[in-house]
Structure 1
């Protein structure tokens, strides 16, 4: 269960880093730039920790799907970027696919 906590924290850190990357305005603002880089470093470290117990394909699929969902929420909250119907349907399909992968995959870690 700890590995999934590391994965969740990695996803949150990556989404935070991406949000701060947008706020850094192409690294022209110092504070968001520094925190963006720190979030990305933390995210990669946490991802490496979770890979001790979660197969890489499942970890990365989960990271991608939940990261996309969090970034969509971040875009709505911070940048007033409202997803259209196609984006919402796409998000639902991505998250559904990852849920199926997590629930029914018999992949094992070696």
Structure 2
């Protein structure tokens, strides 16, 4: 298996692409973005399931959901013109700080 953290990163990117496509699908009425959303979510869930074979579920989900929130918020801001206020930015900074704490200091992130 490839390094589980690399697969987790790919899973996060696939989920962000899928969520962006879902927004662009206009309620699943546009076929291209709708198919991209389905494919992206399938890949994301497949990879996160594989990662959970090697890393603790809580750690995987915390990193996956936390970084997914931050990345999709940035994409929404850049791509869809959505606004991020100071509170949203502070919250995302705290999420990133939490992921860093898990990565740098937690032995739970070493494996299942």
TM-score between both structures, scaled by the size of structure 2: 0.91
Structure 1 segments unaligned to the other structure (5+ residues):
none
User: What 5-or-longer segments of structure 2 have no aligned partner?
Assistant: none
Following the alignment from structure 1 to structure 2, what is the Cα–Cα distance between the partners of residues 5 and 40? 17
- Aligned positions, number: 110
Q: CA deviation at 1:99?
A: 1.5
- Indicate conservation of the 8 Å contact 2:66/2:96, yes or no: yes
**Are 1:31 and 2:35 an aligned pair?**
no
Secondary structure at 1:9's aligned position in 2?
helix
Give the stretch that moved more between structures: 83-92 or 64-73: 64-73
Which whole-Å CA distance do the structure 2 matches of 1:92 and 1:77 have between them? Answer: 17
| Structure 1 segments (4+ residues) deviating >6 Å | none
Whether 1:61 and 2:62 are equivalent positions in the alignment is: yes
CA-based RMSD of the aligned residues comes to 1.4
- Deviation track 1:70-104 (CA, whole Å, cap 9, x = no partner) reads 10111012101120101000101111112112222
TM-score, normalization by structure 1: 0.92
